[in-house]
A = this chain, B = another copy of it.
Amino acid sequence: MKKLLLLSVLFWSMTSFIQQEKPKRIIFFGDSITQAGVQPNGYITKLQEMIDKKGDKANYELIGAGIGGNKVYDLYLRLEDDVLSKKPDLVVIYVGVNDVWHKATSGTGTDPDKFIRFYQALINKIQASGAKLILCTPATIGEKTDFSNQQDGDMNQYSNFIRNLATKNNLPLCDLRKEFLGHNLNNNPENKDKGILTTDRVHLNELGNQFVADKLFPLITK
């Protein structure tokens, strides 16, 4: 009996030890905003720094998988190669800006029904792999707070799609669009279309990267 107990303790110690060794692998899956996220002031870099500061360095492995110009179906095309093959524990999907924006800039945005269908397909395949998921709404194409940025209607529509997908699939949501608007209502009194959290209406400045990191931190570390 004692022998058995000893063995159990030993086994528990070993698995515990092994588990401590294997960090939680998190892949950030998205577009140019996420591609820039691994740069010195990017949101993924900042998340890593926040984790390090907490002394949790050994427990997390953050991987950026963002490619400029990507829309939801581009994520689907490279899901196997860039995400599933790396066996992540958690995947953060942050997409939607180009699906809306490219309608106006090159006539190559994404139809509403297809956005939902491809997004759900991403969720299905990632869940089937055993990985957990966090969904993000796309933050902004223009920071004006009176809903007069050209794409505001469509951005709200596609954000609603993502909110509904989170609810339907019972997944945690990082509602960046809502958070950005909330921030700008307090910090953009001149109703400027850029320069608060973005450099160019879309891409994050340092404050914007910190803002996204702050919103994601509790979700990825819980």
A positions within 8 Å CB-CB of B: 69, 73-74, 76-77, 102-111, 114, 117-118, 121, 142, 146-157, 159-160
Contact = CB atoms under 8 A, between A and B. Distances in A.
A105 B104 CA distance: 7
Given A73-B114, A76-B77, A103-B107, 14 more contacts: A73-B77, A73-B118, A74-B114, A102-B107, A103-B104, A105-B105, A108-B111, A108-B114, A146-B156, A147-B153, A148-B160, A150-B157, A152-B153, A152-B156
20 contacts: A73-B77, A73-B114, A74-B114, A76-B77, A77-B117, A77-B121, A103-B107, A106-B111, A108-B108, A108-B109, A108-B110, A108-B111, A147-B152, A147-B156, A148-B157, A149-B153, A151-B154, A152-B156, A153-B153, A153-B155
B153 A150 contact: yes
Count the copies. Answer: 4
A39 to B, nearest CB: 24
A157 B121 CA distance: 30
B153 A151 contact: yes
A58 to B, nearest CB: 38
A208 B108 CA distance: 29
A5 B121 CA distance: 53
